[in-house]
């Protein structure tokens, strides 16, 4: 695939519902190897991938792939078109990918019972099996456990074509990518290295731009003060050189004014002022030409509260079916007002099934609980946006404030019917925390969020007084926020029916570092 490339030539693209273009004049050529696509939620990362795959057409310019392009979306709702053929194929690539990604022979038949992590692995396996010359991957590590991430990185590292990778997984971006395309509308900048190196270069560039801006602003301020002083001096000179008010017979005064006019001394201040006008125009132009990004005030304080009751959730011991004759067994479970619980386990272990069961055993009124599901259907997304638009002005302002402090555009929230998955999670979190919750339950809360938003959310939850139940494969996130561990793992003592069992204990560093 050495001769493969993907070219964007003067691309302009905008959505009809948006006030500004997503891209305007985007020009770049990408060659074999992985390019990380980095930017805030809603900045256009997914749009770029869909343009590359020709699912979207630009209003101006062209996208020219040199060969086939496969797009692997964020969402895992739909069964991949070639899933059955992939499962049944006996060629070397299909067998290798199924083995590397741990894809079961029965996954096509039981798609509806697969976890989102299992679906994501199947989705990527089918896409790689098609052997495209260019591959556009959107958040491939969403939902998948740590072991599956290692398998995924191994599979992706063998891809020899043009790779576009949108991800909030810093480890994956650093491991795979030789360069990163950093989207910060209206700018799009290609920088060398994985995420860590590219982010360091971006921070250095931004620091230089801010310093240049400060210096240019200081110079403009100095010139404006000088110009004001010269203007006052010119006005005083004009008054002095005027013969108005001089007595008709005061010939000496009139002679002095005539001499000053003849020698040109009286016009010195005016000439200097005219020279300053040119320098001022240059200084103003220079200031406008420096693109120094305004540093947004990020971070939120979640307004939760500690419940006054002893128990928020009480679940009797039991078993839950997982499909395909599988089940998860669990002991008696409870969550108290100050508990911070991490629910961990491999893909398909029953974590989301257990969370739904827990949601049916709450001892709190619904308005005191914030629940953020692992995936949110498209129709729900549209309903949420409509709900936000109908909020009273004061409540709307509070929601938008939370949303903006997570690093995303509040204007875009109100201007689109189809927010990105990351933006939607931020909206729902903002709506929920406005109710002062006593319990926050989040299933894979860092999925779809950009890196600054994850850091803001982590810091906010650390200070929040509410009880927490967090399901996540982001172990750095869990280490900071939780104390109790509910771990689901295979039950070696179970006979007959394949069983998973939940074990309760303190946060285990060994488990989190697997």
| Closest by Cα among 505, 139, 504, 73 to 329 | 504
What are the b/e assignments for 442-473, b being 16+ CB within 10 Å?
bbbbbbbbbbbbbbbbbbbbeebebbbbbbbb
Q: What are 412-465's pLDDT values in tens digits?
A: 666 667 777 777 877 888 788 777 888 999 998 888 777 777 877 888 788 888
DSSP string, 190-243: EEESSHHHHHHHHHHHHHHHHHHHHHHHHHHHHHHHHHHHHHHHHHHHHHHH--
Gap between the Cα atoms of 66 and 457, Å rounded: 41
Please report which confidence band the pLDDT of residue 302 belongs to, taking 50, 70 and 90 as the band edges. Answer: low
Domain shared by 168 and 221, yes or no: no
User: Among candidates 190, 202, 164, 185, which has minimal Cα distance to 24?
Assistant: 185
Q: Within 13 Å, how many C-alpha atoms sit on residue 458's CB side?
A: 18
Spatial separation of the C-alpha atoms in residues 16 and 30, rounded to whole Å: 28
Q: Return the pLDDT at 269.
A: 54
- Average of per-residue pLDDT across 49-75: 92
User: Per the domain annotation, does 305 fall within a domain?
Assistant: no
**pLDDT tens sequence across 171-195:** 889 999 999 999 987 789 999 999 9
Measuring CA to CA, which residue among 158, 8, 17 is closest to residue 69? 8
What is the Cβ-side half-sphere exposure of residue 319, based on CA atoms within 13 angstroms? 13
Q: Check which CATH number belongs to the domain holding 350 and give it.
A: 3.40.50.300
Q: State how far Cα 351 lies from the chain centre.
A: 25
- One domain for residues 189 and 219: no
Domain, as residue range, for 257? 205-289
The 8-class DSSP code of residue 508 comes to P
User: Could you say which of 193, 226, 245 is where a domain stops?
Assistant: 193
Domains held by the chain: number: 3
Question: For residue 306, is it within any domain?
Answer: no
**Residue 168: C-alpha distances to residues 31, 37, 41, 46, 422 (Å):** 22, 10, 10, 13, 11
Tell me: do 44 and 71 sit in the same domain.
yes
Question: Are the C-beta atoms of residues 421 and 449 closer than 8 Å to each other?
Answer: no
């Amino acid at each position: 695939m050495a001769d493969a490339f993907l070219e964007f030539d003067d691309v302009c693209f905008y959505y009809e519902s948006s006030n500004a273009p997503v891209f305007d004049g985007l020009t770049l050529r990408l060659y074999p190897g992985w390019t990380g696509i980095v930017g805030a939620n809603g900045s256009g990362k997914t749009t770029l991938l869909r343009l590359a795959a020709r699912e979207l057409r630009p209003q101006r310019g062209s996208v020219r792939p040199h060969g086939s392009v496969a797009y692997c979306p964020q969402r895992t709702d739909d069964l991949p078109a070639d899933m059955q053929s992939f499962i049944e194929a006996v060629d070397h690539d299909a067998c290798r990918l199924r083995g590397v990604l741990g894809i079961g022979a029965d996954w096509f038949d039981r798609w509806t019972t697969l976890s989102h992590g299992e679906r994501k692995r199947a989705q990527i396996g089918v896409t790689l099996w098609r052997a495209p010359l260019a591959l556009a991957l959107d958040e491939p590590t969403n939902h998948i456990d740590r072991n599956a991430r290692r398998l995924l990185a191994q599979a992706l590292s063998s891809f020899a074509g043009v790779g576009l990778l949108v991800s909030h997984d810093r480890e994956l971006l650093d491991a795979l990518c030789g360069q990163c395309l950093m989207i910060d509308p209206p700018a799009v900048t290609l920088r060398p290295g994985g995420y860590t190196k590219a982010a360091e270069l971006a921070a250095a560039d931004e620091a230089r731009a801010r310093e240049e801006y400060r210096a240019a602003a200081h110079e403009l301020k100095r010139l404006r003060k000088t110009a004001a002083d010269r203007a006052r001096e010119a006005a005083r000179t004009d008054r002095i050189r005027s013969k108005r008010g001089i007595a008709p017979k005061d010939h000496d005064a009139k002679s002095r004014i005539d001499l000053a006019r003849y020698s040109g001394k009286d016009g010195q201040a005016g000439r200097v002022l005219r020279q300053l006008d040119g320098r001022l125009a240059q200084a103003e132009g220079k200031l406008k030409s420096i693109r120094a990004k305004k540093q947004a005030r990020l971070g939120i304080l979640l307004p939760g509260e500690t419940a006054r009751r002893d128990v928020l959730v009480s679940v009797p011991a039991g078993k839950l079916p997982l499909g395909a004759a599988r089940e998860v067994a669990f002991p008696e479970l409870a969550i108290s007002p100050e508990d911070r619980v991490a629910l961990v386990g491999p893909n398909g272990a029953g974590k989301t099934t257990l969370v739904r069961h827990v949601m049916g055993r709450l001892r709190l009124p619904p308005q005191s609980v914030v629940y953020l599901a692992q995936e949110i259907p498209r129709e729900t997304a549209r309903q949420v946006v409509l709900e936000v638009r109908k909020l009273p002005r004061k409540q709307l302002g509070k929601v938008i404030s939370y949303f903006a402090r997570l690093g995303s555009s509040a204007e875009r929230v109100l201007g689109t019917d189809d927010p990105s998955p990351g933006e939607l999670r931020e909206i729902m979190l903002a709506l929920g925390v406005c109710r002062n919750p006593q319990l926050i339950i989040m299933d894979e809360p860092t999925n779809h969020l950009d890196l600054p938003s994850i850091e803001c959310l982590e810091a906010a939850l650390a200070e929040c007084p509410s009880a927490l139940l967090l399901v996540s494969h982001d172990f750095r996130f869990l280490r900071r926020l939780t104390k109790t561990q509910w771990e689901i793992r295979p039950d070696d003592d179970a006979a007959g029916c394949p069983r998973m069992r939940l074990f309760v204990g303190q946060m285990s560093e060994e488990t989190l570092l697997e």
